[in-house]
Amino acid sequence: MNNYILAVNDGIGSSAGLFKNGKAIFCCEEERFNRAKNWLGYPEHVISYIFANLEIELNEIDMVVLTNERIMSEHSKDSFKKYYDDNFELAMNHLKSAYHRSNKKIKSVIKKSPLGLINNLRQEISKKKAICLSTERLIDFGFNEAIISRVNHHICHASSAYYGLSQNTNQDYLVFSLDGGGDEFTSTVFSGTNGELKLLSGSGSFSIGNMYSGVTYFLGFRPHEHEYKLMGLAPYVNPTYSEEYCNYFRQFIDLKNDETEFYNPENLDYSVFFYRLLSDLNRDRFDNIAAGLQKFTEEICLRWIKGNIRKYNIKKILLSGGVFMNVKMNKLIAELPEVEFVDVFPSCGDESNIFGAAFYTYNKKFKKEVSLLSSYTLGTDPTRDLENSLQKHSAKINVESSSETNKKIAELLADNKIVARCSGKMEFGARALGNRSIMANPSKLQNITKINQAVKKRDFWMPFAPAILIDKANEYVKIPNSIKDHGSPYMMFAVDTLNDDNKRQEITCGIHQSDYTARIEGVNNKIYPDFYNIIDEFYKITGIPCVLNTSFNLHGFPIVENSDQAINVLLNSKIDYLIIDNKIISRK
């Protein structure tokens, strides 16, 4: 008998997935269909696609699970941004009042307030059965309300990591979740033993995730999207300034003597936090602020992880939640002597909570162990609209068919061409893993500028990533023992490159140009047979077992989903070649 679960995330990173007998069959974010990056809300297009294309009927679904207990209301990316805008304007009004009318009361109240949970997006938790917008839409779609349930937000995070990544559930794991907040928690620690999760501790009194997002907004970037830009900027800053601004952020948390949790006695909203930043840092360099925030984040998170490892004497750890998208922090965690094994659930923001909700429900309802995550290419296949797209754009493109497509890609890359690949099932999450990727020769530094000018328009300080054959990776990078068992196949860890100028030159486009780290994708033949073959063919020609890899999208848009979108990007950029299935496409 097959057990089908439909998992739905109707919050940040809106997504849905179909799971059969505990295994992911199809998972996708709503943004890939509606083309609104980082969409928030009900994933109507994904759910419709599942039942229109996957030969599954509504009456075959055993459970529909949502990824939070709180009652979600209708929202959108614009309304979420408006929330930040409104609080920033309120902070500006406070600032004007304080300076122009000498309102000492405002100044004293706000200046002395400690920074606790910067999260006014919370709603009352309702443990009772309740109708919300997403529930109504699911019922209108045809589901019986009796099979619709909710799973706690942080249980979803923990379950995705434990059931998806633990290599042996007979061993003990500590499972950490850390994010902006969900269902009244911002951080939790679970133990994972014999296929069961147990909550050890949890806190909602301090949100490093929302603090990081607040500073991201303050510095002029988009919160819940551009935090990685602060992380990438930080290594360029003089350590003296990093420490100075780290010390500034230390004032906002009361760590007490307990290293196993985050703590602050009061909650604080964004308007107050923005007031503090405007008052204290308005004329300070944005790179110094970013570096101080990154250092502070690393400092308190490593303290928390080490404290719990010491307390419970469990050295195998698993991580999930949006804060762990910070690959530079993950690098430091992997290097801790206390850590014997560590892995991070791929693209571990709220979009991936559909995995945790499905894994947890399958384990609890059907009393069966979930299969280890074996692939993250779980989306649509571009061949469904390939022929129509080729015909539609025939006046503007040249098309060649090849029986050795992977070898042809390698030859083009060796000839220093920029090649986009849209083949096979689309990756889930924020990372392009080879199926929706732009690739280039990693040894030619000018390719960074070329790709930025051609399509990406990234900030000048941001590095690209190297996709490297995992069996050759040790020749170029230092992989900590704690991640050698998996080799970072989903780009969730940065690592140091070897102190070898020749080797660094060979993969220079995938290296951070200040600290010489690399956010590697360790490509193995089991997970990525085609992508492995492309890199291997490139290695045979050039002697370099690596290619530059970045996501296939125009700046500000989600990763391409289908053939028509892929061809449009080709026509509206300076990419040299586009590969879809066995078709090699170029502009006329």
Q: List pLDDT tens digits, range 140-187.
A: 999 999 999 999 999 999 999 999 999 888 899 999 999 998 998 999
Residues 6+ apart with CB under 8 A from 193: 169, 172, 173
**Which pLDDT band, with edges at 50, 70 and 90, does 82 fall under?**
low
The pTM is what?
0.92
Q: Counting beta carbons within 10 angstroms of the beta carbon of residue 399, is it exposed (0 to 12), middle (13 to 18) or buried (19 or more)?
A: middle
Query: Worst-scoring range by mean pLDDT, 222-231, 334-343, 477-486?
Result: 222-231
Task: Identify which has the larger pLDDT, 98 or 515.
Answer: 515
Work out whether the CA dihedral 232, 233, 237, 242 comes out positive or negative.
negative
Q: Region 211-227: what's the mean pLDDT?
A: 91
Determine the Cα–Cα distance for residues 187 and 182; give it in Å rounded to an integer. 9
Would the pLDDT of 102 be above 50? no
Would the pLDDT of 453 be above 90? no
Would the pLDDT of 334 be above 60? yes
Would the pLDDT of 576 be above 50? yes
Residue 490: C-alpha distances to residues 91, 139, 179, 262, 394 (Å): 39, 35, 19, 28, 36
User: Which domains occur in the chain, in start order?
Assistant: 4-74+126-155 (3.30.420.40), 157-349 (3.30.420.40), 382-587 (3.90.870.20)
Determine the Cα–Cα distance for residues 286 and 165; give it in Å rounded to an integer. 37
Give me the residues paired with residue 343 across strands: 318
**What pLDDT shows up at residue 94?**
59
**What pLDDT shows up at residue 263?**
65
Would the pLDDT of 96 be above 80? no
**What pLDDT shows up at residue 115?**
34
- At 493-542, the pLDDT tens digits run 999 999 999 999 999 999 999 999 999 999 999 999 999 999 999 999 99
Would the pLDDT of 95 be above 70? no
Token pair, residue 55, equals 């030969």
**Which pLDDT band, with edges at 50, 70 and 90, does 582 fall under?**
very high
